Homo-oligomer: A and B are copies of this chain.
Amino acid sequence: MGSRDRESRVRVDLTAVVIAVREGTPCVLTVEASAQPAIALPSGPLEPGHQSLQSGLRSWVERQTQHPLGYVEQLYTFGDRATAQLEPDVASQQKAISITYLALVASTDPPRQGRWRNWYDFFPWEDMRAGVPAARDPLLKRLKSWAGKPGRPTNKRRLERARLTFGIGDAPWDEERVLERYELLYEAGLVPEAFVDRGTQPPSRINNAVSGLPMVSDHRRILATAISRLRAKIKYRPVLFELMPPAFTLSELQKTAEALSGIPLHKQNFRRLIAQQGLVEETGEVAMDTGGRPAKLVRFRREVTLERPAPGVRVSATRRGSYP
C-alpha cells in the first residue's frame, strides 16, 4: 500500500457492445476494422478529459449513434492477451487493458459511424426461436469428431462438456450459456479466431454460415459475454424496456424478449407474468395494425425499477427440454 513509483502504466480502451432490437432482430453496433477480420466493436481510448469510465464511454457512443444510451453496464475488464497478439511489435512492455460495457438503445436508426448487424450472424447456433437452426447439426458433428472416440478420459470429458453446454440428448438447452458455447467452439478450432490467434490459417471447411462471422481480436468473445449477461439479466431486472419505444404492445415486448433469449415463449404465460409483476400500464390507445384483434398499447412503469423483488421477465420456453 505504500508509494510505488515504478509501477507500469498501461493503455486503457473502452469497448462497447451496443444492442438494439428491430422487429424481432437483435442488433449489435459494429464498425469496420483494418485488421484481419473486418468487423469490430466500437472502441475508444480512455481520455484524460473523461470524468469517469462510464461517462467517457457514454459520451462517445452517444456521439456516434446519436441516440441516448438507456442503459449502460460494465461487462468485464480484459487483460492484454489478445491485444499483445494483435500488435506483436509493441511487446509485453506496453500493456493494455480493455474495459467493456454493455449498452442498450431503444432505436435502430442508422448510426453516424458503423452499422447494425443481426447478432445471430455471429452466433447462428444461438437462435432457437424457429426450432433447431441449420448451423447446429454440422457444428455438433464437428464437435463430436473433435472430442474423438469416448475411450480416453480426455475425450469423455470433452463429449460430456459438449453435451451439457449445447444441450444434446437429455441435457436441457440453457440459452444463457452463450459464452461457454463460444469458448468450447474456440477450443475445438471451429471458429476462425482460434487460428488467427495461433497465427495459422483457418481450414477451408470453416464457413461463416455455420461458424458465424468472425470479429477482430477477442471481440466476438466480448459479444458472447454481453449476450450471456443480457439473457440472464432480463429475467430479474426490467432491462428489456430499455429496448422498447415509449408505447408498445405486449406482443412486441414478447418479440423482443424472444429475440434476445433466442427461444420461443408461451404467449399467454408471458402476458400473465408481465401483468402480475405490474411492469406496464395501459396508455388507453390501441394498435390496429396487428392483423387480428387490435392490441392495447402499454408503457413501462418506471417506478418499478426500485421496487423489486426481481421485476424481470422470466423467459420460459414454450417447449422446455432438449434439442437433438
Chain A positions near chain B (C-beta within 8 angstroms): 1-2, 4, 7-12, 31, 33-34, 40, 43-48, 52-54, 74, 76-79, 81, 92-93, 95, 97, 99, 160-161, 164, 172, 174, 306-309
Contact = CB atoms under 8 A, between A and B. Distances in A.
Given A97-B53, A164-B307, A309-B172, A34 B1 contact: yes
Contact of A46 (B48, B95, B172, B309): B95
A45 B79 contact: no
Contact of A93 (B2, B12, B48, B79): B48
A79 B97 contact: no
Given A7-B45, A161-B306, 8 more contacts: A7-B11, A7-B46, A10-B46, A48-B95, A53-B79, A77-B77, A164-B307, A172-B309
22 contacts: A1-B31, A1-B33, A1-B40, A2-B34, A4-B45, A7-B11, A8-B46, A10-B10, A10-B46, A12-B95, A46-B95, A48-B93, A48-B95, A52-B79, A54-B79, A74-B76, A74-B77, A77-B77, A97-B99, A160-B306, A164-B306, A174-B309
Contacts of A164: 306-308
A229 B88 CA distance: 37
A309 B7 CA distance: 43
A9 B10 contact: yes
Given A74-B76, A160-B306, A1 B172 contact: no
A87 B76 CA distance: 27
